[in-house]
Structure 1
Amino acid sequence: MSGLSATVVLRDPESCPVARATSATGESVEAVSRSSPSSPETPRIEEFAIDGEASLEDDDVGVELSRISANEHGEVYRFTRELDGFCACEVVEEEGTPVSSIRADEGALYLTVRAADVETLSDIVGALRERFDGVQLQQLLRTGERETADLAFVDRSRLTDRQREVLETAHEMGYFEYPKRANAGDVAEAIGISRSTFSEHLGAAQTKLLDAILED
């Protein structure tokens, strides 16, 4: 039995207190603990430890913080939040998949999720992109009972000339880097197309590449 394990990156999720904490301090968060509310009316409780000797205030993260303890990794903080749809982890869970791990660094949020197939993973990434900017699929692994070499051949002729041009130009201009050297508008202008057309071609090209990599 095999499946997929993916790390999805949200580059600047302003609604995430944990990601904001890393922006404010310059330190990283390697793990987040979250409660499971018994009803939508029950706030979720979250805890995280910020590395180093950083000290956080409520204004840094946009929520009321409680300093719980300190350990060798730094200060441990707790906060509560309503189930309001502005949490990336909630968006993933709404798709019927738990978040396996959560970490943050330099204002970016890294979520690891597991899915049974490409369609489920595509639904998760699509749902995140509907609510957040800067969502990227950073790492994708096929999981199984045994570790084996799992090579994939990608036939670039699957891409149309325009899709390939969009991918190559976006790559050359630093669209996929962090921090970005170019945004969607910059790349679209360089190619001479609208931003919506750029997004359409980029999405289609990424889907084709994923299908080629992940197909049996």
Structure 2
Amino acid sequence: MARATDTSNRSPNGTGNGGVLEVEFRFEPSAYPFVRASAVADCTFELAELVPRSDGRYAEFFNVTGADPDRIEALATEHEGTDVTLVETYRDGGLFEFLVSDDCPARRLAELGALPRRVRGAGGRGSIVAEIPADADAAAIVETFLAETPEATLASKRTKPSMTPLLSEATLHRRLEARLTDRQREVLQTAFEAGYYDWPRECTGTEVAAELDISSATFSEHIHAAERALIATLFEER
């Protein structure tokens, strides 16, 4: 994969026809902590949010799945310049806040003017997908980042008409998971798979309740609570 950017068919700002340029970078297995930890712990790191702090550091919130939270905290403390806090525990992992001061590719992209949208490390493979606004010099940002980050390789690029919403799919999934109880999730999933939400409906609430071996009143209580949690999450984030 080439490390140089293709400047053909571009506008002066490097984003083609004036749209948003989406670029994907890939990293060597041991290049950065989140990639290295994903290999050592055989887990998946996915960035939920990147927030600048007043002291010049960045807070990176990662959803980590497939690993014991204690193991992740122990691995993070081995990397100088990184402070880690377990924010929330999930069934299969947790949400962590990593305060980083240096040696962070997502932070450097943000400083250059690109907006990291998906930062992922899984099984030792790392990638960052970032968006560069139409009014930025995309070619200069990509070239500078590659020159400063020899571990990175430009994997792909494409022009998009607009920016991606700030809320990531992973963050939405985790917030929904945190809102729903196990029973609410079971009821909601059973109803969905049975065709309760199809139009016309393939089954009634009474039939779903019978499949779950609960009363119709209990089914109604759980399904409405689950629907309210989904709707609340949607409108609160918007």
Please state which band the TM-score falls in when normalised by the shorter chain. Answer: 0.5 to 0.7
Q: For residues 127 and 13 of structure 1, what CA distance do their matches in structure 2 show?
A: 22
CA pair 132-59 structure 1, distance change in 2 beyond 3 A: farther
Residue 34 in structure 1 maps to residue 88 in structure 2: no
Structure 1 runs of 4+ with >3 Å offset: 119-122
Residue 17 in structure 1 maps to residue 36 in structure 2: no
Residue 60 in structure 1 maps to residue 75 in structure 2: yes
Task: Provide the secondary structure at the position in 2 that maps to 1:26.
Answer: coil
Identity of aligned residues (%): 14
CA pair 49-138 structure 1, distance change in 2 beyond 3 A: same
The CA deviation at 1:43 is: 3.1
- Alignment map for 1:181-196 (pairs within 5 Å): none
TM-score (norm 1): 0.53
One-letter amino acid matched to 1:112: V
Q: For residues 3 and 68 of structure 1, what CA distance do their matches in structure 2 show?
A: 33
Which residue of structure 1 aligns with residue 111 of structure 2?
Answer: 94
Is the CA contact (8 Å cut-off) linking 1:13 and 1:132 kept in structure 2? no
One-letter amino acid matched to 2:154: L
Is the CA contact (8 Å cut-off) linking 1:10 and 1:132 kept in structure 2? no
In structure 1, runs of 5+ residues without a counterpart are: 146-216
Q: Compute the RMSD of aligned alpha carbons.
A: 2.8
Residue 48 in structure 1 maps to residue 62 in structure 2: yes
One-letter amino acid matched to 1:75: G
CA pair 131-106 structure 1, distance change in 2 beyond 3 A: farther
The CA deviation at 1:111 is: 1.5
One-letter amino acid matched to 1:122: A
TM-score (norm 2): 0.49
The C-alpha deviation readout for 1:108-134, integer Å capped at 9, x for no partner, is 3322122357x9333233223333233
The CA deviation at 1:101 is: 2.4
Give the length in aligned residue pairs: 139
Q: For residues 30 and 86 of structure 2, what CA distance do their matches in structure 1 show?
A: 23
In structure 2, runs of 5+ residues without a counterpart are: 1-17, 163-238
